[in-house]
Homo-oligomer: A and B are copies of this chain.
């Protein structure tokens, strides 16, 4: 049994490759929920949905979120009411949020809702939210006027397009959040724990912050392998550089290694970063070189193979 820690698009693409080389039912994915937010009263779980839609083969091929062939009639109509529509919810995607919100309102946990949604999409693998308790990433940014203000993740990332300079990041609720049922057991029993090429600060960071996760991974460190989302000093997609730098983490595979050093014995770095392998290993993390730019599912599958072999 393999367990993968996952954020959004990078993780989804990696997992799409992974399930080409191992049976889907052998994979448990623990997904970040600290980006979850409420829009128009609906509980939106961006990372759970990205992984679900991608494993179902229904993801939008380019944009990194949402469904292929999606329409936006509801959001366009919402503009008439002056309601904030900067977070674009597609019409078919809305069904997911309506369904999840209704289940939660009726007393289901996020785990239970996720189980139903992934089953409906025929995902095949088990997706676990990192926690059924609310955890919310809050980003303190510098304002144009020179002060600071705290934004929710989607406000900073989507509404503000990662523009405002980051001062600090915290995971509201993480101290009290319990891991979702099955998370610690899965981490404990996994043959291998894969840390997907996701944002180490705000995608993997919240998972590690949930009670017991970091401790469990430390114990399993030899069986934990991460894939660096940073290639040649820049993230493949997303705002990792805008978060790592200000938080004193070098925007490189070395910075990723430093972030994961206590929980992760092996880091897969890109072939282009091979020269930095000694610096990674100086942190006590074994460096393995591979092609990490997942241009298509076949490359992603090869990367997944390399990653598993790295700790075989």
Contact = CB atoms under 8 A, between A and B. Distances in A.
A101 interface: yes
B99 A74 contact: no
Contacts of A248: none
Contacts of A94: 74, 77, 91, 94
Contact of A81 (B40, B73, B76, B95): B95
A71 B71 CA distance: 10
The complex is assembled from copies of this chain, and their number is 2
A116 B73 CA distance: 20
A77 B102 contact: no
A40 B101 CA distance: 8
Interface string A12-49: 00000000000000000000000000001110000000
A219 B183 CA distance: 68
A91 B117 CA distance: 21
B73 A92 contact: yes
Interface residues of A, number: 30
Contact of A80 (B42, B76, B121): B121
A120 interface: yes
Nearest to A56: B80
A269 to B, nearest CB: 39
A102 B83 contact: yes
Nearest to A99: B81
A282 interface: no
A48 to B, nearest CB: 14
Interface in A170-227: none
Interface in A62-110: 71, 73-78, 80-83, 90-96, 98-99, 101-102, 105
Contacts of A78: 95, 98-99
Given A41-B101, A73-B73, A74-B91, 8 more contacts: A40-B98, A71-B71, A74-B95, A75-B95, A77-B91, A77-B95, A78-B98, A94-B94
9 smallest A-B Cβ distances: which pairs? A77-B95, A73-B91, A77-B92, A78-B95, A40-B98, A41-B102, A81-B99, A91-B91, A74-B94
